[in-house]
């Protein structure tokens, strides 16, 4: 399985050998303009070969398969509801798969309710803003007034 390596703000990435643990930081600015999955082959000084996937996101995203519910928040209250699946989640937002595709305009406000798949089945209720829609998938960021959630932080670390 490929390692995921994050590109830093100064366009460098630190690659760590899975065999010996030796790390090397390299300039990866030639990859920052590419808008698709980038996998690089690495060779450590110890002779070990491994592959790494470069990740340009600022925040780690954890894959998920969590059932939930959305409520479309209109000017006068709830306007629509439906079922969703949380496909991935980070500290700044989440990606949803709608059971019935909807074409939400960018900026639409939703309330998302789901339970984390941790031992406590922690309930989550998050206000989000739609940032992009692609078929049944909706990318959304947490509303700026949404408080940081320690339970979500712990969930993302495990």
Domains of the chain: 3-55 (no CATH), 62-157 (2.40.10.220)
- Is residue 96 within 8 Å of 112, Cβ to Cβ? yes
The Cα 94–Cα 116 span in angstroms is 13
Band of the pLDDT at 106, cuts 50, 70, 90?
very high
Reported pTM: 0.64
Average pLDDT of the segment spanning 90-115:
91
Q: Quick one: pLDDT at residue 5?
A: 82
Band of the pLDDT at 56, cuts 50, 70, 90?
confident
CA atoms within 13 A on the CB side of 72: 14
Band of the pLDDT at 66, cuts 50, 70, 90?
very high
The Cα 99–Cα 115 span in angstroms is 17
pLDDT tens-digit readout, 19-32: 898 889 899 888 87
Band of the pLDDT at 60, cuts 50, 70, 90?
low
Q: 119-141 burial by CB neighbour count: b if 16+ within 10 A, else e?
A: eeeeebebbbbbeebeeeebbbe
Q: Quick one: pLDDT at residue 44?
A: 92
φ, ψ at 86 (rounded to 5°): -80, 115
Q: Quick one: pLDDT at residue 1?
A: 63
Average pLDDT of the segment spanning 77-105:
89
């Amino acid at each position: 399985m490929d390692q995921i390596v994050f590109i830093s703000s100064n366009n460098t990435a630190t690659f760590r050998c899975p065999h010996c643990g030796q790390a090397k930081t390299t300039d990866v600015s030639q990859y920052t303009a590419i808008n698709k999955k980038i996998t690089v082959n690495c060779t450590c000084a110890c002779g070990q070969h491994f592959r790494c996937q470069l990740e340009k996101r600022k925040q780690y995203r954890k894959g998920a398969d969590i059932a939930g519910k959305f409520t479309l928040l209109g000017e006068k209250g709830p306007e629509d509801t439906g079922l969703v699946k949380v496909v991935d989640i980070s500290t700044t937002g989440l990606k949803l798969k709608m059971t019935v595709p909807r074409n939400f305009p960018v900026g639409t406000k939703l309330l998302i309710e789901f339970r984390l798949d941790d031992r406590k089945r922690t309930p989550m209720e998050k206000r989000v803003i739609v940032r992009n829609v692609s078929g049944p998938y909706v990318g959304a960021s947490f509303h700026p007034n949404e408080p940081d959630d320690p339970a979500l932080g712990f969930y993302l670390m495990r």
